[in-house]
Amino acid sequence: MLRALRRRLALLLALLSALVLTLVAAAGLWLSWQQQTRAADLVFRSRFAALCDQLAVADLVTDGWLAARQLELGGVLDLTDGGRPVHFSVRQRQDADLAALLDQAEGAALAAGLDPDAPAGEEPRQVDYTVTEPGGARWRGITAVLPRGGGALRLTALQPLALAGPGWQLTLLAYGGLWLAGLAGLAAVSWLGAGRMLAPTRRAWQRQNEFVAAAGHELRSPLAVIKASLAAAEDPALPEAQRRGFLHTAQREADRLARLTGDLQLLAAGDAGALTVRPGPVAADTLCIEVYEQFYLLARAQGRRLTLQLPEAPLPPLVTDGGRLTQLLTILLQNALDHTPPGTPVELTLQPAPGRLRLRVIDHGPGIPDDRKEQVFDRFFRADASRTRKENFGLGLSVARELARGLGAALTLADTPGGGATFTVDLPA
């Protein structure tokens, strides 16, 4: 499923990137064409001006000289003297297509305001224009009237506006190659980018599958015990006391199942961003005293010494959800009692800090290795299965971290000096 999604996402990214690349390439190609067109026009004008200057001082104009100039222009030259074509132009006009093109040029020059019948002045006159052949080919043209010996020469130069010149072909090849290389690069980048974009989704999907599998495994155990205990309790051949024992076992496993279901619901609400938090003024020291009293007798029965350390100065009320904070401290204290040897002290401390209140649950047990300090917050993770009670599902610290997030607090784990683990809750004051 994720692989198909990656292919679709990569295709979408590649198409969007290809569209942008095509637009950029088209814009660059258009600008290049404009620059080449302007450059060609500038060269054409400069050569035409040089030709006009040469005609103005030339004593004799031969067909060979005109043919050479026409070759330099890369187009068509037409020269008339007193309205009559010179021999070079007469021979060119024998070509019907070329004669039609020159007639179009003469009409375009006339339309542009160059009257060939007007008296020649002392200064040359010229006009620029474009003409289009019936086949669609476009030509740039210049016609000039040059005073000469009391008469006038009329010089017409035409050059095709075709895009297929050698320079333009190289430009097309360069842009085409860059466009294809860009598409290949974009396809690779899109595939890698889609993989990176889907990496969190893949990890979440994997975690969800692992979570569902682990939850199913944990649910199966109490359900199997409940089913077997109820079936045994229905056996009339068993003594009443034994049947009540089976019912008690079923009740105990049902309580375990209820706790597991509650933890799973809380984690699901946290994942969905729907964890219910009802903030209000809370006396942090009073809350710590209540939690301490709740666990004091339990710790004493297990042969542990539970201590409470509070600041001497009174603390301002803390705006938080007292119920959720109590639930968080309960999980941390229960975890400390579950994972430390009998006789090991456990401490609950409350300290003010700049901009926050700091709660710590400190034990002096075996501690947690550095490579497992983050793993202990994973769902269904048990750092030491041999010390884990049957009632423990490996969800406690996961729930604690989710509660801390819901309260806007930070829950961290560090080593206790001398051995053990210290869980710290930093609450915004």
Q: Name, in order, each residue with C-beta under 8 angstroms of 238's C-beta and a sequence gap of 6 or more.
A: 232, 246
* CB of 395 closer than 8 Å to CB of 260: yes
Encoding tokens for residue 329?
């401290």
Per-residue pLDDT of the chain (429 residues; tens, 9 = 90+): 667 777 777 777 777 777 887 888 788 778 877 787 888 888 888 988 988 888 877 778 888 988 998 988 888 999 988 788 888 888 888 888 888 888 899 889 888 888 766 665 556 688 999 998 877 788 999 999 888 766 788 899 999 886 445 566 677 777 778 778 877 877 777 777 767 776 776 776 666 666 666 666 567 767 877 888 888 888 888 888 888 888 888 888 888 778 778 877 887 787 777 888 899 999 999 999 999 998 998 888 888 899 999 998 888 889 999 999 999 999 999 889 888 888 889 999 999 988 899 999 999 988 888 888 888 888 777 655 444 444 556 788 888 999 999 999 999 999 999 899 999 999 997
| Sign of the CA dihedral running 380, 382, 385, 388 | negative
* CB of 336 closer than 8 Å to CB of 422: no
Among the residues of 339-413, which ranges form H helices?
Answer: 396-406
- Quote the distance between the C-alpha of residue 327 and its chain's center: 39
* CB of 126 closer than 8 Å to CB of 143: yes
User: Could you give the CA distance from residue 350 to residue 426 in angstroms, rounded to a whole number?
Assistant: 10
Encoding tokens for residue 155?
């010089």
Q: What is the largest CA-CA distance in the chain?
A: 145
Length of the chain: 429
Q: What is the pTM of this model?
A: 0.52
164: phi then psi, degrees, rounded to nearest 5: -95, 35
* CB of 257 closer than 8 Å to CB of 226: yes
User: Could you give the CA distance from residue 335 to residue 324 in angstroms, rounded to a whole number?
Assistant: 17
389: phi then psi, degrees, rounded to nearest 5: -70, 160
Q: Is residue 114 within a helix (H) or strand (E), and if so which, with residue range?
A: none
The amino acid at residue 140 is R
Question: Residue 29, CB half-sphere, CA atoms under 13 Å: how many?
Answer: 19
